[in-house]
Amino acid sequence: MMDENTLKRLKTIEGHLRGVIRMVEEDAYCIDVIRQIQAVEAALNKVSSRILEDHLNSCVITAIQGSDKKERERVLKEITEVFEMSTKV
């Protein structure tokens, strides 16, 4: 479950991204645009890390402590897939 802080951060990032779009529409200096894109990426990465941490501390711990072997395997596979995708980007 997402908390209010996460939602607030995502809405802030959305506003920042709109600012980047305006910069591109107004033909801003390329390096300035890239720096702003990097700031958005960093903010998204931070939110993603917080969501993953919350997931590990709730859903994953519950599954690992549970008796359902298939559920344990499923959540561990999901974590592996998320990690693999993050290294491809």
Domains of the chain: 4-88 (1.20.58.1000)
Question: 28 in helix, strand or coil?
Answer: coil
pLDDT exceeds 70 at position 1: no
pLDDT at 88 over 90: no
State the pTM of this model: 0.84
Task: Report d(CA 71, CA 52) in Å as an integer.
Answer: 18
b/e for 67-84, b at 16 or more Cβ within 10 A? eeeeeeeebeeeeeeeee
Q: What is the pLDDT of residues 37-85, one digit of tens each?
A: 999 999 999 999 999 999 999 999 999 999 999 999 999 999 999 989 8
